[in-house]
Structure 1
């Protein structure tokens, strides 16, 4: 694949970076990212993935835009209230860069449709707010052999990690949280509150993590740091990292 002259101009600031270069920009253009959740994390993540020139995007969300979303979900406006987030997000992407291929899936990822949604994905970025869905996505990624970028936020703490549970010796998201969260009764930002700028930090870092996966083995930036959970503290700003080891008894990836 070669980049047209107008694309070279658009991504000139990427290409001039030795850690990305022309090879990396082509890899981004050829990549397919499946974004699970187009909300607080998904909105900024989508903006930076689209701005990076990721050539194909599948946007998954079953929710509609609410007025309370506008404080942090940056791709929506008051005129979008009541509309399906996946469809509005796809429209935003098409306006931002018509060359990108974008598909909206206005529904939830479930066991029965996960394989179809994840088909041909280079990486899945999961920023949804439901543990049951997160575990379905994690298990599906392991089965399909697709890397997973997982991002979450709770009040002033964010979490971002890349998982490759389909690879020998590497952990999956279920290794991290176990089986206790398969139910759909998890905390929500409606109950706990959330700062818009904090969500933006996590979403941007998640996009960066997904870019690392896409560039693995192609450029110096391509170090996914599998199984390293990056904890972002917003109240007293700090960043620390912990290693998530593979659980030998994990029912999501122990047989992978």
Structure 2
């Protein structure tokens, strides 16, 4: 990352304005029309614009809500997930009644409650190397609220290849970041973070947590950036990374410039490999020695179950008789941490098979992989496939092979 120049880049408006606004639109957006430098022409540009929003979760929720309220012409929403109860703490576009529904469907319904005339396209799936270039080319600006590194770098590379402006945001625990990347008008994501991190190098929201209201702070900033780009007003966060810390209330801006030594993006080959690893993460984890729920129920009294989730997760549910040892403790202490926990348990007399579990099987598979080289001879270490989610989904009677 090279030093940034003092001049802040600006870009011309992304779209030509629609010819006119209806009387109803003039009334609806009247608070915009009096803004200096924005006015009726800015509103006409918004009405002409099409945006692609990647993710209908924590960041996508305020992005979609505010762009729809602002009078954007059309929105495409892409997400492959369904609404869960744990989403509702921060994903404000969804309601309790939406649990179990595709997020894109729930989000589209919310948009139409706000503005029945707004054009909404939904894609229940993921952004992939196969569809990214076409989707980016078909929209004026893209807002990336993805929750994984592979998709973020895919968005960057697709933006570079198609020349499409990209607004990027990320959140973790109490901190958030926002930047804007406009090919040909400043640095891109790879100038700031050149290499794609490993998929599990940073805990996700389920493991690390996230302050719900922070999504509104970062998502609103992202929507603001999109409006500035579309209308050609203000100074976008091109070559700047906005950083906010919720606990201290501090905001800071990191300036950065294009890296002259960075290889230019010429295709999606590298990011295709990263996306393959990310999408196959579950399959890769399942290659670890696993046990399914039915077998665990049948041998439950003869194995030691170790729960690597956090304290608060055990407040929701726990497998009876399980030993608690958070994954972070295993990362720090390795096999010795497990041995120490075993020495304090009632089952430390002789070697016993161990089953490690988490919520869905991802963290327990990591634990098995970390410990696999330290397991004493004669002791079998396995991960519970599907985690406690699978345990709770399969009733005891139906899981017992003797029934």
Q: Normalization by structure 2: what TM-score?
A: 0.59
> Which one has the bigger helix percentage?
2
- Residue in 2 aligned with 1:122? 140
- Contact 2:161/2:266 (8 A) holds in 1: no
Match of residue 19, structure 1, among 12, 32, 37: 37
Q: Deviations over 1:132-158 (max 9, x none)?
A: 000001100111110110011111111
- Contact 2:137/2:164 (8 A) holds in 1: no
Match of residue 241, structure 1, among 244, 253, 257: 253
Task: Give the gaps of 5 or more residues in structure 2.
Answer: 1-18, 268-403
CA distance in 1, matches of 2:105, 2:47: 22
Which structure's CA Rg is the greater one? 2
- Residue in 1 aligned with 2:356? none
Q: CA deviation at 1:187?
A: 2.4
CA distance in 1, matches of 2:141, 2:54: 11
- Contact 1:61/1:107 (8 A) holds in 2: yes
Q: CA deviation at 1:116?
A: 1.9
The alignment yields a C-alpha RMSD, in angstroms, of 1.6
Residues 202-221 of structure 1: pairs in structure 2 closer than 5 A: 202-216=218-232, 221=233
- Residue in 1 aligned with 2:98? 80
- Residue in 2 aligned with 1:172? 188
- Residue in 2 aligned with 1:38? 56
- Residue in 1 aligned with 2:398? none
Q: CA deviation at 1:197?
A: 1.0
CA distance in 1, matches of 2:61, 2:196: 28
- Residue in 1 aligned with 2:199? 184
- Residue in 2 aligned with 1:6? 24
- Residue in 1 aligned with 2:277? none
With a CA cutoff of 8 Å and minimum separation of 6, indicate the structure with the bigger relative contact order. 1
Q: Deviations over 1:95-134 (max 9, x none)?
A: 2112211100111111111012223211110011111000
Q: CA deviation at 1:40?
A: 0.5
Q: CA deviation at 1:245?
A: 1.5
Corresponding residue pairs, total: 248
- Residue in 2 aligned with 1:232? 244
Q: CA deviation at 1:253?
A: 4.6
Task: Look up the SS of the partner of 1:72 in the other structure.
Answer: coil
Q: Normalization by structure 1: what TM-score?
A: 0.92
Q: Against the structure 1 CA distance between its residues 245 and 253, is the aligned structure 2 distance closer, same or farther, given a 3 Å change threshold?
A: farther
Task: Look up the SS of the partner of 1:71 in the other structure.
Answer: coil
Match of residue 194, structure 1, among 192, 204, 210: 210
- Contact 1:138/1:252 (8 A) holds in 2: no
